[in-house]
Amino acid sequence: MLYTLPIIAALAGWLINSIAIRILLRQLPKRREQLATDLGTLAGKQFSFAAIKKKLTDPEKVKSIIPVVETHLDGFLRDRLPKAMPVLSMFIGDTTINQIKSHLVAELDALFPVMINQYLDNVEKDLNLEKIISDKIRHTTDEQMQQAVHNFLGKQLNMFKVLGAISGLLIGGLCLALVFLAR
């Protein structure tokens, strides 16, 4: 019977750590407000509109949308504009359409970074990332929060239980050794 002491202590260590994990997970919903505020603040500090602006206004990125603009302009100048202004179609041929298109594309190539910058300036003023993230966390269900913790820390939580069992086994073995030494 005495030899079962390490096994009983290992089970006790595993059980205690399992209960501790459950208690911690049950505390999450109660601390949701603070968690939401803290994570929102963290995300707000880490998120950089300057980096996004730099990427979106990169000349290479802008040049990648020019073919789409050219196709749209070509359709506009060849099809929709003559329908809207039939008299104009009598004076505009392929050469004129290509010249207009090339000038418009060059102008838009210069205008797009300015437009994107202005748009992102407006978005930055209106977008409160801290509030958005905080609100999303506040409105998650208890099950969603616990599932997120399990997905994120599942292996570590299991390791914590195993560590409780190992420490219990060691303590039980030490107690068993002390009992034999005391005899």
pLDDT class for 96, splitting at 50, 70, 90?
confident
148's tokens? 């997120």
Q: What is the pLDDT of residue 10?
A: 95
Q: Which residues of 39-50 are buried (b: 16+ CB within 10 A; e: fewer)?
A: ebeeeeeeeeee
Q: What is the mean predicted confidence (pLDDT) over 67-77? A: 90
Domain boundaries along the sequence of the chain:
2-182
**Residue 1 predicted with pLDDT over 80:** no
Q: What is the pLDDT of residue 28?
A: 81
166: three-class secondary structure by DSSP = helix
Residues 6+ apart with CB under 8 A from 19: none
pLDDT class for 18, splitting at 50, 70, 90?
very high
Instruction: Give tens-digit pLDDT for 126-168.
Output: 888 888 889 988 898 888 888 888 899 999 999 999 999 999 9
Q: What is the mean predicted confidence (pLDDT) over 96-121? A: 87
